Amino acid sequence: MKKSDKSDRQRHPHFPFEDPPFRLSMGLVKIPECEWFEIFDLQERALQLAEKRRLLANYQDDVFISDPSAMMASTEVLNLMLEHLPAVRPELYALGKDSIKLESHTMYEGDEWSTDLEKNKMHPLDLAARLVQEDLIIMLPAEEKRPGWWLAAGSVAFPSRWNLKEKFGKTMDVIHSPVPFYKEQLQVSTNDFFDRMPVNEIFSRRNWSLHNNPSLRQDGSENTSEKPSNKITSVNAGEYLWLRVERQTLRRLKETGAILFTIRIHLRPLKEVVKFEGIVNRLTRALSALPPEMQIYKQTNIFADSVQNYLNKF
């Protein structure tokens, strides 16, 4: 890319703050295929790909898991990505006869993977997830023992306060049961949408939260690399809080009918977030509109007053 990393970060902020009154919603937006995966800050790309590789090397069983029934869908995902990535970003991906090469760039030495799964003995979804910053999850439709769409495979290096092993094999309703108001406001519409989702159309949505921990991986285990050690005050909130945004996509696969769910993590220090025009007011309104149940779920109740006092300075 010819443009600087700084200009890329300025062009692609994610600030999905909704105005009051609060209501849980899917917030889906149809996007073109060229926006399926987000690649624009190459420095961030280098850091996230390196961290993903480290986690897979040290905690493979925590990051990746798959049911045998997801094999066909996983292969379809890999084949789609091997076609898509070199087509939309040829300067970063080169597809060979039996390999996919990730070209080097600033802070990134590049990589190359065999696409012959019989030789490399890799699971197709494991390989697919190593090509991008996004985490990948495959949802399969209801079956006799699971009355609803269920999580059949996943490569999740960067969870946001959840654990893949705990969610694996469970239905969407069970997975989202801890989310306040999900059953009352979102469960029926979400299941209906999954059931009727058009083939190969891609939809995007975003979630946000404030974290006092900048680690990409936050699964509640001892593997989290950075532990918060500072009490949040109105003085240091900008320094010790991060806006964590999940940019998610949903895509129904043509051959298998499975749904691929992608999650891309964006992290910004709060002190950088407040520099964007109009964001302080939007974040202030969004925080004040959160019901107590959602404050607890997002864990913003711990430092809500300090954040508001910090934002009031701008």
Could you tell me which residues are beta bridge partners of residue 288? none
pLDDT for residue 221: 73
CA distance 69 to 66: 8
Domain that includes residue 160, residue range? 5-311
pLDDT for residue 6: 41
pLDDT for residue 35: 95
Under DSSP, the state recorded for 143 is: B
The one-letter code for the residue type at 20 is P
CA distance 4 to 2: 7
pLDDT for residue 7: 41
pLDDT for residue 175: 95
Which H helix or E strand runs over 260?
strand 259-269
Residue 187, Cβ density class (10 Å: 0-12 exposed, 13-18 middle, ≥19 buried): middle
Closest by CA to 250, choosing from 166, 147, 169, 134, is: 134
CA distance 209 to 227: 17
Contacts of residue 107, defined as CB under 8 A and 6 or more positions apart, other chains included, come to: 42, 43, 46, 47
The answer to whether 171 and 147 are in contact (CB under 8 A) is yes
Half-sphere exposure for 206 (CA within 13 Å, toward CB): 17
Quote the percentage of the chain above a pLDDT of 70: 91
CA distance 226 to 211: 12
Q: What is the pLDDT of residues 50-85, one digit of tens each?
A: 999 999 999 999 999 999 999 999 999 999 999 999
Strands 135-140 and 242-252 come out as unpaired
pLDDT for residue 223: 46
Secondary structure class of 314 (helix, strand, coil): coil
What is the number of structural domains in the chain?
1
Tokens of 200: 């190969």
pLDDT for residue 200: 81
Tokens of 188: 């029926």
pLDDT for residue 21: 65
CA distance 179 to 175: 9
pLDDT for residue 220: 79
The answer to whether 91 and 110 are in contact (CB under 8 A) is no
Residue spans of the chain under pLDDT 70: 1-12, 20-24, 222-230
* Rounded (10°) angle between helices 279-289 and 304-311: 150
The one-letter code for the residue type at 139 is M
The answer to whether 100 and 112 are in contact (CB under 8 A) is yes
Tokens of 312: 């009031």
- DSSP alpha helices (H): ranges in 64-116? 71-88
Secondary structure class of 242 (helix, strand, coil): strand
CA distance 251 to 233: 41
pLDDT for residue 144: 80
What does the radius of gyration of the chain's CA atoms come to, in whole angstroms?
A: 20
Residue 161, Cβ density class (10 Å: 0-12 exposed, 13-18 middle, ≥19 buried): middle
